[in-house]
């Protein structure tokens, strides 16, 4: 004759396992709720490469709201050469309607007392991000005692570290120092409370993933010509 007590107790095992899983999930949710601020701060910190500052003989400005002020300070401290990146000019810049980024950069640096003789283009041609490390390596070979500081916004430093590791001479990489410039538009410790902060972190991860995924030179985008606009208008108006 079967043992009724044994038959009744058998279904308790899966129910007990379910209860343990629910309890574990509840604990995870509780921990995440208590530590969500620290977790979100860590997400931002992963984008940042904050290297110790050392004496540099040249500085390259890439991005960052305070890059002109920091370049001025470095210049006053003994960094005499300020490299400028030449970018691709847009249509309005080529027509002379708007000043180029290079012109604006020179204007800001000259206004801060840095002489024209200390300003130098990293390359006479527009430079792709994936070639910056190689060009910096060329300068370091020419000046064997130089160290170069690279100024960029904090949440782009991880991306630029990856780009430099790929393109710079590994033997010279230790003489290239990233300087992470702080953001002024939001508090980094609670970036998720502001739209500029959330946008900066999201863009930082999107750029990092894109850079990691696309190894090598990227094809330059083609600018639309007047003929392209005319053809598009014709297609739209043709029944």
- Per-residue pLDDT of the chain in tens (239 residues, 90 and over written 9): 455 555 454 455 556 666 665 554 544 444 444 546 778 888 888 999 988 777 899 999 999 889 999 999 999 999 999 999 887 666 655 666 676 778 888 999 999 999 999 999 998 888 888 999 999 999 999 999 999 999 999 999 999 999 999 999 999 999 999 999 988 888 888 888 889 889 999 999 999 999 998 775 554 445 555 555 455 556 555 65
What residues make up the domain containing 199?
186-214
Dihedral, 159, 130, 127, 89 alpha carbons, nearest 10: -60
Q: Any idea what DSSP says for residue 214?
A: S
- Asked whether residue 76 falls in the same domain as residue 170, the answer is yes
Residue 175 lies in a domain: yes
Residue by residue, DSSP assigns 152-209 as EEGGGHHHHHHHHHHHS-TTTGGGEEEEEEPPSSS-GGGGGGSHHHHHHHHHHHHHHH
Dihedral, 147, 149, 150, 152 alpha carbons, nearest 10: 160
The neighbouring-strand residues paired with 120 are 83
Contact yes or no for 82/61 (Cβ under 8 A): yes
Last residue of a domain, one of 134, 164, 182: 182
Residue 53 lies in a domain: no
- Asked whether residue 158 falls in the same domain as residue 191, the answer is no
At residue 58, φ and ψ (nearest 5 deg) are -145, 155
- Asked whether residue 92 falls in the same domain as residue 197, the answer is no
Number of domains in the chain: 2
- Asked whether residue 86 falls in the same domain as residue 192, the answer is no
At residue 151, φ and ψ (nearest 5 deg) are -95, 125
- Asked whether residue 89 falls in the same domain as residue 177, the answer is yes
Look-up of token digits 């959330």: 198
- Joined together, the tokens standing for residue 126 give 């527009």
- Residue 22: enclosing H or E segment and its boundaries? helix 12-45
- Asked whether residue 85 falls in the same domain as residue 192, the answer is no
């Amino acid at each position: 004759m079967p043992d009724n007590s044994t038959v009744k107790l058998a279904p308790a095992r899966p129910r007990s396992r379910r209860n343990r899983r629910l309890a574990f999930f509840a604990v995870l949710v509780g921990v995440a709720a208590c530590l969500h601020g620290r977790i979100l701060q860590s997400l931002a910190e992963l984008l940042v490469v904050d290297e110790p500052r050392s004496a540099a003989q040249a500085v390259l400005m890439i991005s960052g709201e305070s890059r002109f002020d920091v370049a001025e300070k470095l210049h006053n401290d003994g960094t005499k050469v300020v490299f400028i990146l030449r970018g691709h000019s847009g249509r309005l810049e080529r027509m002379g309607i708007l000043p180029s980024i290079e012109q604006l950069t020179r204007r800001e640096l000259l206004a801060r007392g840095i002489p024209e003789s200390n300003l130098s283009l990293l390359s006479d041609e527009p430079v792709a991000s994936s070639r910056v490390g190689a060009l910096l390596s060329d300068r370091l070979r020419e000046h064997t005692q130089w160290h170069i500081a690279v100024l960029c916004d904090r949440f782009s430093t991880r991306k630029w570290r990856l780009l430099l590791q790929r393109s710079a001479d590994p033997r010279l990489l230790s003489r290239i120092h990233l300087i992470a410039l702080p953001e002024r538009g939001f508090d980094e410790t609670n970036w998720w409370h502001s739209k500029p902060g959330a946008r900066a972190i999201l863009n930082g991860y999107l750029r990092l993933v894109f850079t990691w995924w696309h190894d090598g030179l990227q094809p330059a985008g083609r600018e639309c010509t007047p003929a392209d606009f005319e053809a598009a208008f014709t297609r739209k108006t043709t029944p």
